[in-house]
Amino acid sequence: MAENSNDGLMRTLSAATRFESQVLDCDVIGKIPADINGAFYRVGAEWFYPPKFADDAILNADGYVSSFRIRNGRVDYTGRWVRTQRFDRNREAGRQLFGYYRNPFTDDPAISDPQHPNTRTVSNTAPLVHHGKLYTLKEDGLPYLIDPLTLETQGTWDAFGTWKSETFSAHPKLDPLTGEMVSYGYEANGLASDDLYIATLNSQGRVSDSVTVKVPYVSVIHDMALTHRHVVIPFGGYVTGMERLREGKIHWGWDKTKPSVIGVIPRGGSARDMRWFEGPERCMMHTFNAVTEGDKVILYAPFFDSNFFPFFPNVDGAPFNPAGARAFIRKITLDLGKRGNNWQEEILWPMQVGDLGKVDPRVLSLPTRYLYTQFYDETKPIDRAIVGSAGPARPSNCYGRFDLETGQLDTYFAGPTHVLQECSFVPRPSGQEGDGYLVGVATNYAEDRAELVIADAQRLGEGDVARVILPFKISQQVHGVWADARELGLG
């Protein structure tokens, strides 16, 4: 594999976001509801220096954190790089020292401690707000503490010394009733290790309970789900091992012969309480929510049929199959009252959706009526004359509210030149489930800029109530979260 040069042309491919910025009192079209006071935090990935290998995964690009601080109908935007140990090392060298995604054997010799994954994490996946603090997360390392106002990086965080895994998931779950956080780390004890560490953190951010279990096989465990009684751990298809890493390959390959797996363990349970269920080939990345009803654990998730990531090759050498990278809203039921493997799966809507699902955080782990995610409505085609080939093949032009009670789908449409990133839910104070706003960033290809759209989650069909205009495009979000001003003492 030829290494990339550091020439300007390559680097300016990410020109729109290679900078840090603050936009004070952003232009607003429409009117921002007066009852919104807080900040929308986003984390994304962007190459500060070009990758060492041209075919590396974008998942290996540097973390970039941004915020839209909204108060009194006015908005300030801030965007900064996450100053990881890796970012600082590259800056010092003036080039990319780190090799393939999660393969330290492909790093520049200048990197002395390849066995410690924490020096390699780019912290580019998701923001977390808990116990009054803001963090950026990536599943291959520890969280980074971020100043919620300036977005300055303040170092790594190990739950004040109580976290006992080298890794920390990008998708911990917050219990709205107890204020607890349940999180996990896989490859917990070193590269390709089969240890899965699962822990509960109290409302002060300290581990109050933890367990370590062995996984059936080492795979991506990207997301989890939480019920009021159980922790749900889905994964499948991706494989790794020290041999493929020593061969200089990217961390993951896809093995379609591997079953999909869902682990279920009671909250506070011990290793022997873990039950593993097996299903068909699936690429299981994100979840909406889960609920425990009697002996049954019901998981709602927009899983893919097969491998979603072209840069993680099939281990059998077969070419990547785009037809397999299709996500649907699935309901998977596991009956803990029955012995042995049982797995009931149902596709709730026949349409293909984006897999970045959200629910109202007030019902996380609890019975849930509404699921939210972005999708491509082909009846509202994108204007290719303007977007050209710059936009994705299936651009998300809509946010959807999927009603599990009635089967109804309510749709927000951003416009023919707008491509939507993941939405987040902004609860309206003292409201019930679904009472609030959907916020998310749209790339406006007509104006070559980013816009934060704000829509009433109960009136998606009426369009957005406000758009916050940025004077430039911003980096592709992976995940975002809304934080009320009181949660972070923003004032």
Could you say whether residue 293 binds its own copies (CB under 8 A)? no
CB of 31 to its own copies, least distance (A): 12
Tell which one of 5, 12, 204, 344 touches its own copies (CB under 8 A).
Answer: 12
Within positions 64 to 83, which residues make up the interface with its own copies, using CB under 8 A?
Answer: 74, 77, 81
Stretch that binds its own copies, among 13-21, 145-153, 321-329, 438-446 (CB under 8 A): 13-21
CA-CA distance, 26 to 86, in Å (whole number)? 32
**Which 8-state DSSP code applies to residue 192?**
T
CA-CA distance, 332 to 279, in Å (whole number)? 10
Kindly tell me which of 16 and 145 has the beta carbon lying closer to its own copies. 16
Within positions 146 to 205, which residues make up the interface with its own copies, using CB under 8 A?
Answer: none
CB of 29 to its own copies, least distance (A): 5
The answer to whether 409 touches 348, Cβ cutoff 8 Å, is no
Could you say whether residue 321 binds its own copies (CB under 8 A)? no
Could you say whether residue 224 binds its own copies (CB under 8 A)? no
Structure tokens given for 262: 């869902």
Could you say whether residue 270 binds its own copies (CB under 8 A)? no
CB of 469 to its own copies, least distance (A): 5
Kindly tell me which of 91 and 380 has the beta carbon lying closer to its own copies. 91
Could you say whether residue 20 binds its own copies (CB under 8 A)? yes
Kindly tell me which of 424 and 444 has the beta carbon lying closer to its own copies. 444
Structure tokens given for 469: 């205009």
Could you say whether residue 58 binds its own copies (CB under 8 A)? no
Could you say whether residue 28 binds its own copies (CB under 8 A)? yes
CA distances 353 to 135, 326, 477, Å, are 28, 8, 17
Tell which one of 40, 41, 47, 48 touches its own copies (CB under 8 A).
Answer: 48
DSSP, collapsed to helix, strand or coil, labels residue 369 as: coil
The answer to whether 370 touches 360, Cβ cutoff 8 Å, is yes
Beta bridge partners of 482: 40
Considering only CA atoms, which of 370, 348, 357 is closest in space to residue 440? Answer: 357
Q: What secondary structure does DSSP assign to 95-158, as a single string?
A: S----STT-GGGS-TT---TT-GGGT----SEEEEETTEEEEE-TTS--EEE-TTT--EEEE--
Tell which one of 116, 228, 428, 449 touches its own copies (CB under 8 A).
Answer: 449
Residues forming the site for its own copies (CB under 8 A): 8, 11-12, 15-25, 27-29, 48, 74, 77, 81, 91, 94, 449, 469-472
